[in-house]
Amino acid sequence: MIEFRSVSKQYSAHAIALREVSLDIAKGELVYLAGPSGAGKSTLLKMIAAIERPTSGSVLVNGQDIGKLRKEGIPFLRRNLGLIFQQQKLLNDRNILANTMLPLLVTGASKAQAEQRARAALDKVGLLERAKALPLELSGGEQQRVSIARAIVNRPQIILADEPTANLDRASADKVLDALRAFHAVGVTCMISTHDEYVLDGAARVIHLDHGQLVQEQS
Ligand SMILES: Nc1ncnc2c1ncn2[C@@H]1O[C@H](COP(=O)(O)OP(=O)(O)OP(=O)(O)O)[C@@H](O)[C@H]1O
> Tell me: the pLDDT tens digits for 79-112?
899 999 887 789 999 999 999 999 999 888 999 9
Query: In this model, does residue 204 exceed pLDDT 90?
Result: no
Tell me, using a 6 A CB cutoff, whether residue 40 lines ligand 1.
Answer: yes
Tell me, using a 6 A CB cutoff, whether residue 39 lines ligand 1.
Answer: yes
Cα(18) to ligand 1 centroid in Å equals 9
First to last CA, the chain: 17
* Among 129, 164, 211, 131, CA closest to 30: 164
Kindly provide the ipTM of the predicted complex, given to two decimals: 0.89
Phi, psi dihedral angles at 155 (to 5 degrees): 55, 60
Tell me, using a 6 A CB cutoff, whether residue 36 lines ligand 1.
Answer: no
- Domain boundaries defined on the chain: 89-155
- The predicted model scores a pTM of 0.90
